[in-house]
Amino acid sequence: MIITAKGTAMKKIPEGRRFKPGQSGNPKGRPKKENTWKYILNTLLSFEDVTMPDGSKISRKRAIALRMVQEALKGRVDAANLIVKYTESPEPMKISAVDTEGSPLSGAIFMMKKETLESWNKRMQNKKDKSSQ
């Protein structure tokens, strides 16, 4: 054992087991997670096996996106909302409020749910009251 300057103990690594200069301790990197829903769905959606009317092939993901656009153009509001959700980034909501001493608080947050400034202030005040109890 070696005692460091901070007083913590460290094992002495045997001479032959130390990394050589320029050699990584994990050359292959972290193994990929191949059993997650995201990985499985992305794999299945990446296949280019959907045939278009002109004979060209497109990926399943692109085919689903085209179908969503077609449905939105037909007037399906749920399809249009889904397209907007995935293509538009939420606008930052500027907030100015004062704390209990009257000092200004300000910041910018991103919200998926629309909320008025008054309701946000009330919700934050309730959280603050609960945390101070």
pLDDT digits (tens, 9 = 90+) for 60-83: 999 999 999 999 999 999 999 999
Cβ–Cβ < 8 Å for 41, 35: no
CA 15: distance to chain centroid? 43
79, with CB counted inside 10 A (0-12, 13-18, 19+), is middle
Task: Report the pLDDT value the prediction gives residue 74, as an integer from 0 to 100.
Answer: 96
DSSP state of 75: T
Rounded to whole angstroms, the Cα distance separating 46 from 36 reads 15
DSSP three-state, residue 124: helix
Task: Report the pLDDT value the prediction gives residue 32, as an integer from 0 to 100.
Answer: 76
Average pLDDT, the chain: 81
Domain ranges of the chain: 37-87, 92-132
Rounded to whole angstroms, the Cα distance separating 2 from 94 reads 53
Write out the DSSP string of 29-45: -SPP--SSHHHHHHHHH
Task: Report the pLDDT value the prediction gives residue 114, as an integer from 0 to 100.
Answer: 67
Task: Report the pLDDT value the prediction gives residue 30, as an integer from 0 to 100.
Answer: 79
Residue 72, CA atoms < 13 Å, CB-side half-sphere: 14
Judged against a pLDDT cut of 60, whether residue 111 lies above it is answered with no
Task: Report the pLDDT value the prediction gives residue 85, as an integer from 0 to 100.
Answer: 87
